[in-house]
Structure 1
Amino acid sequence: MFLDIEATGLSYSTDKIIELGMVKFEYTEDGKIFHLLEDFNQYQDPQVPISEFISRLTGITNDTVKGHNIDETELATYLQDVDLIIAHNAQFDRTFFEKTFPSIPPKAWSCTMFDVQWNQEGISSYKLEYIAYKYNFFYEGHRAVIDCLAGIHILAQELPCSQELVLKQLLTNALKLRFKLWAVGAHYNCKDLLRERGYRWENHQTNDYKAWSIEVIEENVAEEINYLRSTIYRSSINIPIEVFDAYSRFSYNPQYLKNDIKYQDKISWAKRLCSQ
């Protein structure tokens, strides 16, 4: 299922959902989409004024959402047979979704922004509208179901260089464990090196610190730790390391993020690499 959320702003902790759109589809094992199923589209009154900027961006006004509430029973029923939720920038959509609907059981999530290697395919921007442009179609962005349909259309395409189906690559990457390395205490002078390598400066979701972080798949962990030890810290290191699967990735919920016991062997292995 492809999911898209429109909200009053970017912060799940202070902003509110104003529209939720979802579209189910069926596909074969090799990633071919063959059947679109029913969609789900409902508005939510955020109980706070929608800014002029958001109204211009989405076309959703205070009058559009007035008195509307997303029916959580209908939502739960719609999600029953869904195996995977896909979003474009799933970190945004999943955090809003979980904050708004805490009683909905967790699902596996994947992301068309991060689980497809667009840069290796000659597509330089991760914006959905730009990717659509590269596939020679245009659409009215920032309306939930329309964004979902655009996302599914992109999933059905072949990647420009590898000729692999977009959905096939996404599914392959969604199954991989992700290791998040936090370069806590890295010297300020290293910020450009870290940024160029793909690190992001961000707050930790549940702990009270901010640092450069990167997410890598298991086969790249040793290389990345070696880079940190030899280039950034120039010594053995002891940094926070987290492991995520499709059920915990992109979540803010501490209940889903507690993978330290589930993947203790993986974390211990990575920690040993840090101290070598």
Structure 2
Amino acid sequence: MLHDPTDLAAMAEALSRSADYRVLRRLVPRPVSPPAFGQEVRTGILLDTETTGLEHAKDELIELGMVKFDYTPDGRIVGVRDTFSAFNEPSAPISAEVTALTGITDEMVAGHRFDDAAITAFAENAVIVIAHNSGFDRKFAERYWPLFEHKAWGCSMSEIDWRKHGFVGAQLGYLLNGAGFFHQAHRAVDDCHALLEVLAFELPTTGLPALALLLETARKATMRVWAEQTAFELKDSLKRRGYRWNDGSDGRPKSWFIDVDETALEDEIAFLRTQIYMQDVEPTVQRLTAFTRFSGRI
């Protein structure tokens, strides 16, 4: 039996008002709209990449998706300004593993090349670039297009404590479901549209959109503390504290490190002195901002 779409919408609305049901709506990308007038807005870009592998120094980009959007200084999304989607043929065949993961085949990318000038023009007026794993996407974007070295970046996966706000994890599809949508993602730009709705979602804990929380975090400086030359048997203590291991292959120290707020720096150094080194050491500390965080240059 067929239902009028308006009937289905009314049924979904009725169900969503009940505490016994949760309704997921198919994500329909927001249409492109002209710049908003009469209110102060800034322009951001949501970016997603697909690659031939995980190593930014040698693997290649095979797809780039971007959604340009306007937002108010307090983090409310006003509208979509433009979208970008493109394939790029790599220098070697795409592996079966990558095709299984991304759905991208050699036939899909054959003959395609990124238009570097178009990508630079698309992104040049953005004040922030946001990816759902900026630690991965920024390194690739910077290698291909130097413009991205000079942009502020935010990470919607790591710079929002999703668990604190009622989500079990930070996987994009799960967050999208939590915001009331589902999508059948095929392209990188589809994930950008999904991320837009996740960032527009008002967190029940704050009453503000998730983007507001991300911007607040991204605007703060963080301190990267390197715990170099530590005893092997102390690795579990460092892990429990939140330290991560860097294997030295990227030119950075072969060492444990942690990123903390500026206000927590003294406590972190005290932990290293009393629990790890047992002496008055001065660990290497780097100050990171949105302009340097997640970059392969740091």
What is the TM-score with the length of structure 1 in the denominator?
0.86
Paired letter, 1:137: F
Q: Choose which of 190, 196, 212 in structure 1 pairs with 2:256.
A: 212
Change in CA separation of 1:203 and 1:172 when aligned onto 2, cut-off 3 Å? same
Partner of 1:3, secondary structure, is: strand
| Partner residue, 1:267 | none
Distance in 2 separating the partners of 1:170 and 1:184? 30
Unaligned runs of 5+ in 1: 258-276
Matches within 5 A, 1:36-185: 36-102=80-146, 106-141=150-185, 143-185=187-229
Partner of 1:34, secondary structure, is: strand
Q: State the Cα distance separating 1:141 from its structure 2 match.
A: 4.2
Change in CA separation of 1:209 and 1:31 when aligned onto 2, cut-off 3 Å? closer
8 Å CA contact retained: 2:149, 2:295: no
| Partner residue, 1:227 | 271
The structure number with the bigger radius of gyration is: 2
Change in CA separation of 1:47 and 1:171 when aligned onto 2, cut-off 3 Å? same
Paired letter, 1:2: L
Across the two proteins, how many residue pairs are aligned to each other? 254
Change in CA separation of 1:111 and 1:188 when aligned onto 2, cut-off 3 Å? same
Paired letter, 2:126: V
Partner of 1:99, secondary structure, is: helix
8 Å CA contact retained: 2:56, 2:140: yes
| Partner residue, 1:269 | none
| Partner residue, 2:56 | 12
Aligned alpha-carbon RMSD (Å): 1.8
Change in CA separation of 1:196 and 1:136 when aligned onto 2, cut-off 3 Å? farther
8 Å CA contact retained: 1:204, 1:210: yes
1:47-76 C-alpha deviation (Å, 9 max, x unpaired): 111111211221110011111111011111
Q: State the Cα distance separating 1:206 from its structure 2 match.
A: 5.7
1:96-124 C-alpha deviation (Å, 9 max, x unpaired): 11112236662111110121122322434
Change in CA separation of 1:160 and 1:198 when aligned onto 2, cut-off 3 Å? farther
Distance in 1 separating the partners of 2:100 and 2:236? 35
Partner of 1:96, secondary structure, is: helix
1:156-200 C-alpha deviation (Å, 9 max, x unpaired): 112243333210111111111111011112222221222122211
Paired letter, 2:195: G
Change in CA separation of 1:176 and 1:80 when aligned onto 2, cut-off 3 Å? same
Distance in 2 separating the partners of 1:82 and 1:202? 31
Unaligned runs of 5+ in 2: 1-44
Change in CA separation of 1:107 and 1:119 when aligned onto 2, cut-off 3 Å? same
Q: State the Cα distance separating 1:3 from its structure 2 match.
A: 0.3
Distance in 1 separating the partners of 2:207 and 2:267? 28
Partner of 1:248, secondary structure, is: coil
User: 113-122 vs 8-17, which deviates more?
Assistant: 113-122
8 Å CA contact retained: 1:6, 1:142: no
8 Å CA contact retained: 1:87, 1:112: yes
Taking every aligned residue pair, what percent have the same amino acid on both sides? 38
Distance in 1 separating the partners of 2:186 and 2:280? 46
8 Å CA contact retained: 2:244, 2:257: yes
What is the TM-score with the length of structure 2 in the denominator?
0.80
Distance in 2 separating the partners of 1:143 and 1:132? 16
Paired letter, 1:98: E
